[in-house]
Amino acid sequence: MSSEERNTERQHGRDCHDPPPAPLLDMGELKQWSFYRAAIAEFIATFLFLFFAVSIVVNYKEPNYTDQCSRVGYLGIAWANGGMIFVLVYCTSGISGGHLNPAVTFGMLVARKMSLIRAAAYMLAQCLGAILGHLFVFLFMYADEQQSSVGVVNVVSPNYSKGAGLGAEFIGTFVLVYTVFSATDPKRNARDSHVPVLAPLPIGFAVFVVHLATIPTTGTGINPARSLATNLIHRSTAEAMDDLWIFWVG
């Protein structure tokens, strides 16, 4: 019996076929336009996410706003981040998978859903897009040079220990990546034809809920590219740079 026949027999009675593991090193991808198009999509989407996400926090912290009722607050920040993730994942999922996050890309690499070369390209594009997006906010939207970076830069709150911050980032990132894998599960897609359309919705809601839970603890990283961009551009305090490892390890 051939391997193809054995595979057919193994899959008999199932409503889907699990895709084979992606090769660890696929040099052929470097010759495909779809590879570069996907990396560009990740760059643009992460750029837009950082631009809007940080802009909201900057305006929330703007000292010239005296009317507290005009500010979005933690709830508005959480909704904005979840909503932007929903929109951007929906727009890019057909091109690159809509990762927008090195943690998600790393999870896909470990699960052998993408090659090492593609994962490295995604992570590089995400980090560069995040840095450029935050740089645009820093150059054009800051009201004055002395405006506080509190809330913009990911740092563990003084009320919490480093271990608590690491735990919050670990659990928050796990919830996000777990939701991504669940929403894109091929078995679920085979059973429910509407799921591919709705897949970005639970991912956006996961980001929303995690932000509500972890903003007071770490300012909510769960995205190493975001943490790198804000810490790298501001370099506001030695504490912020010392805490950067928490948001990458977590």
- Give, in order, the Cα–Cα distances in Å from 233 to each of 16, 49, 55, 77, 106: 46, 16, 15, 21, 24
User: Which pLDDT score, from 0 to 100, does residue 192 have?
Assistant: 55
Q: What is the mean pLDDT of residues 225-250?
A: 72
Query: What distance in Å separates the CA atoms of residue 231 and residue 243, rounded to the nearest whole number?
Result: 9
User: Which pLDDT score, from 0 to 100, does residue 9 have?
Assistant: 44
Instruction: Render the burial of 78-114: b for 16+ CB within 10 Å, e for the rest.
Output: bbbbbebbbbbbbebbebbbbbbbbbbbbbbbeeebb
83-135 pLDDT, tens digit each:
999 999 999 988 988 899 999 999 999 988 888 999 999 999 999 999 999 88
Instruction: Render the burial of 212-244: b for 16+ CB within 10 Å, e for the rest.
Output: bebbebbbbbbbbbbbbbbbbbeebeeebeebb
User: Which pLDDT score, from 0 to 100, does residue 12 have?
Assistant: 47
214 has pLDDT over 50 = yes
Query: What distance in Å separates the CA atoms of residue 85 and residue 237, rounded to the nearest whole number?
Result: 29
What is the overall mean pLDDT for the chain? 79
Q: What percent of the chain has pLDDT over 70?
A: 73
Query: What distance in Å separates the CA atoms of residue 207 and residue 81, rounded to the nearest whole number?
Result: 7
The architecture of the domain spanning 29-247 is Up-down Bundle (1.20)
pTM above 0.85, yes or no: no
As a whole number of Å, the end-to-end CA separation of the chain is 47
Domain ranges of the chain: 29-247
